[in-house]
Every structure is written in structure tokens, then in C-alpha cells.
Amino acid sequence: MTPPSQLDQFLASYDEQIIYNALVLRELVISTLPDITEQIDVSAKMIAYCYGNKYAELICVIIPSKKGLKLGFNRGTSLPDPNGLLKGTGKISRYVEIKKTEDIQDPAVKVLIEEGLKLYREQITK
């Protein structure tokens, strides 16, 4: 995992609530994705969670901004989303808007992370 000082430095420019929610969301991602690699991409302003160095191995990203957080999913257009949480118009990716801590605690968010892992596993066995 990312050293705490690197993570703190990356998040330092955001307000306290954004930082808090980013850390809560991070814990959910890490606890849901076994042995995941965490990478901070400073230029893209996101924290990436993947099982390798290729884009195809990316499961999700945490994207902080001044307005809130987004939990982005590679292959988000292929994820089941019965609760309608996924937003965006990209050809492949989708994201969930996290405006408050309660959004992270929605069980549907964890299900999306689990579905992202499931989709990844299906892709690597092809």
C-alpha cells in the first residue's frame, strides 16, 4: 500500500471532509479487493487500484476534487448497476459520485467494487 505520508501529501490540498471520505472509501476498496495494488497518480489526480501495470488490470480509482469524490470503474459500462449509481458517458468507464460519507456506506457501492473484481477475473481467464 501507499506510505501514509505519500497519501497524506496527495490529499492535503482538499478539505477535511473530502480527505475523510477518501480515506473511508479507500478502506472499503482495500478490504473488498484482496491483495490489490494502490498507486497514486499525481498528474491525473487519482488513486488507482489494480492488479498489475496495464490499464486492463485496473479495477477502480478514487478521484478527489473540491466538490467531492468519484469512485471510477474501468469497464464500468459492463458492470451490473441495478441501483443506478454509475454515471458518465464514456465508452468504457463509469463512476459513482460520493458526496457524503453515507454514500460510501451504501451496500450497492461495495457490490459494484465486487462486480469490478469479478469482471476483471473473467477477463484474465479468457
Q: How confident is the model at residue 29, as a pLDDT? A: 98
Distance CA 84, CA 48 (A): 23
Distance CA 30, CA 73 (A): 15
Q: How confident is the model at residue 126, as a pLDDT? A: 66
Kindly report, residue by residue over 74-103, the tens digit of the pLDDT: 999 999 999 999 999 989 999 999 999 999
Q: What is the DSSP letter of 66?
A: S
11, 64 in Cβ contact below 8 A? Answer: yes
Distance CA 29, CA 90 (A): 22
68, 121 in Cβ contact below 8 A? Answer: no
Look at residue 14 and give its three-state secondary structure.
coil
Kindly report, residue by residue over 16-64, the tens digit of the pLDDT: 999 999 999 999 999 999 999 999 999 999 999 999 887 778 999 999 9
> What is the phi/psi pair of residue 13, to 5°?
-85, 0
pLDDT over 90 (residue 3):
no
57, 24 in Cβ contact below 8 A? Answer: no
The dotted CATH code for 4-124 is: 3.90.1150
Hey, where are the domains in the chain? 4-124
